[in-house]
Chain A
């Protein structure tokens, strides 16, 4: 069977390209964010990431739910 080096090259090349581009995308995004918000202490903030509403409205639903669901 012929060696089909083109296929090998494309396979390896595609893998390297896609993963490399994604890695570069991540690196760039991080740089971007670091410029917008200079790094601050992470410990106190991380825990509340998914709970507070971004619009600033309080979330009474949380309490109401727990009192209704026995």
Chain B
């Protein structure tokens, strides 16, 4: 089952790649660097998806105390932090030629950066608490606090950047909505989501095997 997922994601990614370079046109204002749009938003979307999954699994764990829920939370956080880091990196790489700078404290980037740091904190907590059951409980609480905090982060960062400070920089990613740009984006969105599911499934399986090996 997991292996099937792996093959599907590989195929989807391949299709996505072909579409990103073959089907999608050269963008008018940004040139070919705009093609980064076929990886960056998908990565960012998965980053948030993973976070939501961590929160959901954490709640399930606290209510039901099912080890599977804890494994799902752990795996989602681990894979999620990778996707988040890549989202930031690709966003930064995209930003340099288009904005002229590697980094700017605009609302979206800042939010994702905070998300990244929260993930890291979660994984750090996992790593430092020795007792497996206690780690599961503590991380579940942290996951829930962090998830409830994200809307607050969004609003505060958005107000921080836009009130009295209208964005003067061009934002990459505003697409005209033509099908040639939309479809590669959607395909890649789906492909990365499937890849995420595959990696999480593999990680969960590995976690279960690890606990069994230690038992």
Contact = CB atoms under 8 A, between A and B. Distances in A.
Does B associate with A?
yes
A27 B68 CA distance: 20
B210 A11 contact: no
Interface centre among A23, A30, A49, A54 (most CB of B within 10 A): A49
Contacts of A68: none
B36 interface: yes
Nearest to B17: A12
Given A26-B203, A33-B206, A37-B212, A2 B31 contact: yes
Interface in A1-36: 1-5, 7-8, 10-12, 14-15, 18-19, 22-23, 26-27, 29-30, 33-34, 36
Nearest to A34: B209
Nearest to A40: B212
Nearest to A5: B32
B203 A7 contact: no
Contacts of B165: none
Given A18-B82, A19-B82, A36-B213, A11 B39 contact: yes
B22 interface: no
A7 B94 contact: yes
Interface string B171-203: 000000000000000000000000100010011
B149 interface: no
B67 A33 contact: no
Given A45-B215, A50-B70, A50-B132, A26 B206 contact: yes
A63 interface: no
A37 B32 CA distance: 50
Contacts of A48: 215
Chain A, interface SS category: helix
A70 to B, nearest CB: 19
B206 A49 contact: no
A60 interface: no
B199 A3 contact: no
Contact of B211 (A18, A26, A30, A50): A50
Contacts of A4: 31-33, 97
Given A10-B93, A18-B82, A19-B195, A30 B67 contact: no
Interface of A: 1-5, 7-8, 10-12, 14-15, 18-19, 22-23, 26-27, 29-30, 33-34, 36-37, 42, 45-52, 54
29 contacts: A1-B29, A1-B31, A2-B31, A2-B97, A3-B31, A3-B33, A4-B97, A7-B94, A7-B96, A8-B35, A10-B93, A11-B89, A12-B17, A14-B86, A14-B90, A18-B86, A19-B86, A19-B195, A19-B199, A23-B202, A26-B202, A27-B202, A36-B213, A37-B209, A47-B67, A49-B211, A49-B212, A50-B132, A54-B215
